Amino acid sequence: MKYVKITWYILTGFSYLAIVVGILSVASTRFEIVVLAGLVELYAAVLYNASALAVASDANNYAAFIRFRTLATAVGVREDDDGVLFVATEEALGDQINSYKTKVLIKNIANALVSIYAVLRILMAIIA
């Protein structure tokens, strides 16, 4: 199942690139190319920043939970009200964060390819 998900992420990344190539191929004038590529570049920047913020937020939440567990252990509390150990919760949270590491990497690579293509199209339109 893991490889199916990775294959799906790769296919969505390639389809993202194919859609952008198709959109920029339709543009006929230099002005259209610059405007459409600029919009694509803006979208890619927003998408990348949202992804980076989500990863940073997850890392911050994980670090906050570790600080909480350390303080709770210092006062002798080792489990929550349901009897689940804080260490088990910490491991589950860490596993969840690590599970989408590959997805984020693939999406960032696809986003970088789209961004590079858009910048190259802008440069080709300006130089030509």
How many structural domains does the chain have? 1
Structural domain that includes position 9: 2-127
As a whole number of angstroms, the distance between CA 2 and CA 115 comes to 28
Mean pLDDT per segment of 10 residues, for the chain of length 128 residues?
90 95 93 95 93 90 91 90 88 88 91 95 92
Q: What is the DSSP letter of 29?
A: S
Burial class (CB in 10 A: 0-12, 13-18, 19+), 121: buried
Q: In 1-128, which ranges are continuous DSSP H helix?
A: 2-26, 30-74, 86-99, 101-127
Asked if 122 contacts 38 with a C-beta cutoff of 8 angstroms, the reply is yes
